[in-house]
Structure formats: C-alpha cells, structure tokens
Amino acid sequence: MKYLSIDQCDAYYGKLKVLDCVSLDIEKGDVLSLIGPSGSGKSTLLRVLVGLNKPAAGRILLEGQEIDYQNKRSLKRARDRFAIVFQQYNLFQNMTALKNVTIAPVKIQRRPKKEVEDEAVALLNKVGLGEKLKSYPDELSGGQQQRVAIARALALKPEILLLDEVTSALDPELINEVLDTIRLLTQETRTMIIVSHEMSFVREVSSKVAFMDAGCILEVGEPRLIMENPGTDRAREFMTKILHH
Amino acid sequence: MWDRVAEELPRFFTYYNVVFFLKAMFTTFLLSLIGCVLGSIFGGLLAVIKITKSKVLWPLRALALVYVEFFRRIPFLVTLLLIFFFFQAFGLEVSVFTVALVSVWVIATAFIAEIVRSGLEAVPTTQWEAAAVMNFNLLQTLGTVILPQAWKVILPPAFSFFVLFIKDTALASQIGVVELTYSAKVLNNKGFSAALAFGVVLLLYYILSYPLAKFGAWMEMKLEISKHRSM
C-alpha cells in the first residue's frame, strides 16, 4: 500500500483545466519536489491535497483511505495530517509571531496552552526567530515571515508538510535563510512535498522529483535522473533553459 | 424675530414642555439605539450569510441578497409606510411606535449588512485559506482572524451610518410617532415660533449624535494606535 497516492486527478479553475489526469505515489519519508514551468499546476496540486481546490475527477488516498473532499469530516481528518506553507506566507496579520504559531494547536487541536507555547518558542528559536516572538507580521521581513509560517506549520505536527514556492516571494538575499531552515527539516524523517524553482536546492534535498507541464506529470524519478537526463523533450527544454539561466 | 423668541422663552420652557421634549428625545434615542443594535446584529448575520460559499446555504444567500438590495433601494419613508400598511392589512393592532421600531430594524439591517460585508471582504482570501487548512470552522475564522482585521474597515462607515440614522428616525413622525421632529411641530402648531421650537430640537439632535460621533472617532483612533491588537 502506498502512503499517499494521487490517482488520475483533474482540477479546474472555472473552465480552465489546471490538473490533467495527475497520478503520483509518495512513500512515507519521501521528500518529493515538484518542478516545471509556471502555470504547470504544481501549486494547484498542493492546493488540491489540502482541499483548497476540489479535485473534479480522480481519487486521493492516504494510507489506502480515500479522502472525500466533499465530506467535511473526511476533509477535516485529512487536514489534520497535512500542513501547508504558502508562497505569500499568509500569516494572520492581527497576531504576533508566537500567537500565529500557537493559535491552531491551542484553539483547534485543543492541546494544553503551556505545552504548545513552550514548543512554539522552541520552534521559533529553531528557525532563528527567538527574538521576534512578540513581533507582528508587518514588522518582519519576508524571510522572517516565511520562517514564522514554517514554524506555524510544524507546530501542527503534520505527517506531510507541503511547501508551496516558499522562496519565490523573497529577495535573493533572504532566500538562503529560508532554504537553510527547510534543509534542517529534511534531515528529520518527515514526508514533504516541495514546489520550488531553486534547482540546486531541489537536487540537494529531494529523494524524488516530479516534472510537471500543462497540468500533467511528465516524469517522476530520482533528482539526478530527471535533472540531468530527462526522458521527455519538454523536460529537457525546461532544464536547459533553467540551468543556463 | 429675536424679540419674539425672547418674549416666548419663559412660556416655552414650562415643566410640561420640557417633559414633552425629553420624552420625544427618548423616543428618538430608542428608535436610533434599537435600530443600530438590532441592525448590527442582524446586518452582521446577513453579511456572514452573504459571504459563505456553502452550496447548502444558497437559498439563504439569495434571500439575503434580495432583502439587502430591496431595502437599500427604496426610501426610508416608503419602507415605513409599507410596514405601517402591512400591519393594517393583516389586522394587527400595534402602536405606531412599534411600526417605527420594526421599520428602523428592517432598514438598519439592510444597510449595516452591506457595510459589514464589504469590511469582511476587505480581508484577503488568503487569510481565510490559511485558517481553513488548519481546520478553523466558520465562527473560529471570523472571530479570531477575519473580524479583528475587518473592524478598521467596518467602523468608520458604520458610525457615519449611525449618525445619519439618528436623523432619519425623524421620518417616523410621518406616521404619528412623537419623536423629536414631531414634538417641534406640535409646539410650533401651538403657537410658539418655529425658530424656537426647531432651534431647541436642533440642539437636542446634536446632543444625541455628538457623543456617538465622538465615540466612533475614539474607536477609530484606538484601532489606529493598536492597529494589530485584536479587539
């Protein structure tokens, strides 16, 4: 039985088909990176997994159990196991960094406040923001906000962490601080799906890479294989452009 | 004119007239307060219904839409008369004050619903999404994430509506509710000069609306200073 299995999923934005018969299997502990040109459906695939876009066709199975995205309870159970970090961080603007990290574990997961706060402080220290506990999002730089967002996701103790282009909204100098944080996470055995345009980073941390184009997954395999010797013309063209950039 | 006013003054401020004015002022105050409070509660509710996306709720959403569009587009006076005749048509014996109360409730609800809705929609959808993926339900999302950010968009137009609304309650005089404007008319008809009767009413309206406007400004300032803090 596969750990997470995406089986022939379609998804639409209005009439536009953004995922076209996508199938993908992920093993527990995999760090899978989705690469491909903008608009190829990478982010949509993550959004579909957490139910922000509903799949129009196909099935998604988590440890053999199908997630029914139309069913509130089933979706809630799935969302308990996933956490997503967004490209634009999406921190709650009315809360401090600490509160952003603790709110869901305390209010939604109903875990003891003291315990959650201690963990949150430890997490924020881990991402290098121990000094910024009381800062509000608009008092933080993009890189700092993104690291708070990563701490917020981790505080939920997700089984599967989804990272949606977490560095693409950042200044070049801030990218590394976020990538360092993620590097740290990949050393722990946690299942992760990463959407990224940072090719050398993808190659370094991923156990698997999937190449997407026009809503389809064209290739899946080991990073070296996909990036150095792609099997499809489209992937080859993409790699050449990106690596010579 | 001033001679006449000066001459009338002692006769004007009799115990009877003062009580009459205060009662009328209380009626205006009550109409405004109940309109604003009920309007805020039901308007807030309608706004929330309007922004939900659930398929099950679409009949409610359609109803909310029709209600808000209808009552925002017809004049206050027409609504008042409609409700007045509605009660009559069904043979319901209610006081004109009750008719006026129901009217202010109906009207304020429609207007405040739009003010709250636009405030809620001013908060980026990404905030909703971040809450949704962490399993916040609708009330939790509204209470902890959306409303604390929407207040500063909702409050200024809400208070300016409240202040306008106090003046609009004067239309209740058209169906015979003795509120401030009506009380001035009565005393004017009794022979007191219009300048005096309406001058006093002008002052009383000011006394009613000034603290409200001040309170609104104070709330806005407080929000501005602690723009992050959840209320």
User: Which CATH number characterizes residue A65's domain?
Assistant: 3.40.50.300
- Which residues, at least 6 apart from B214, have a Cβ–Cβ distance to it below 8 Å? none
Size of interface A-B (CB pairs under 8 A): 56
Q: B-chain residues within 8 Å CB-CB of A90?
A: 126-127, 129-130
Tokens of B25: 């002022």
Q: Tens-of-pLDDT digits for all 245 residues of chain A?
A: 789 999 999 999 989 999 999 999 999 999 999 999 998 999 999 999 999 999 999 999 999 999 999 999 999 999 999 999 999 999 999 999 999 999 999 999 999 999 999 999 999 998 889 999 999 999 999 999 999 999 999 999 999 999 999 888 888 878 888 888 888 888 887 899 999 988 888 998 899 999 999 999 999 999 998 988 888 999 999 988 887 65
| A26 membership: H or E segment, kind and range | strand A16-26
Rg (C-alpha) for chain A, rounded Å, is 18
Do residue B127 and residue A76 have CB atoms under 8 angstroms apart? no
Q: Residues B101, B107, B108, B109: is their CA dihedral positive or negative?
A: positive
Total domains present in chain A: 1
What pairing do the DSSP bridges indicate for beta strands A57-62 and A4-13?
A: antiparallel
Entry pTM: 0.87
Q: Residue A64 CB: number of other CB atoms within 10 A?
A: 9
Tell me which chain A residue has its CA closest to the CA of residue B55: A70
Burial (CB count <10 Å: 0-12, 13-18, 19+), residue B53:
exposed
Task: Name A177's bridge partners.
Answer: none
B161 Cα to chain A: minimum distance (Å): 26
In chain B, beta strands by DSSP E: none
- As given in the structure block, the two tokens for residue B183 are 């009380």
> Does A86 sit within 8 Å of B130, measured CB to CB?
yes
Which structural domain, as residue segments, surrounds residue A59? 4-243
B226 reaches A (C-beta below 8 A)? no
Closest chain B C-alpha to A239 CA, distance in angstroms:
32
How would you label A44-56 residue by residue, b for 16+ Cβ within 10 Å and e otherwise? bbbbbbbbbbebe
Domains of chain B: 2-225 (1.10.3720.10)
Minimal Cα–Cα distance from B90 to chain A, Å? Answer: 44
ipTM value, please give it: 0.92
| pLDDT digit string, tens, across residues B194-213 | 999 999 999 999 999 999 98
B126 contacts A94? CB cut-off 8 A: no
* Helices marked H in chain A: 42-49, 72-81, 97-103, 113-126, 142-155, 172-187, 199-205, 223-228, 233-243
If we measure between CA atoms, which residue out of B110, B115, B108 comes closest to residue B154? Answer: B115
CB B162 within 8 A of CB B32: yes
The residues on A that touch B, with CB distances below 8 Å, are 50-52, 76, 79-80, 82-84, 86, 88, 90-96, 103-104, 107-108, 136, 138, 156
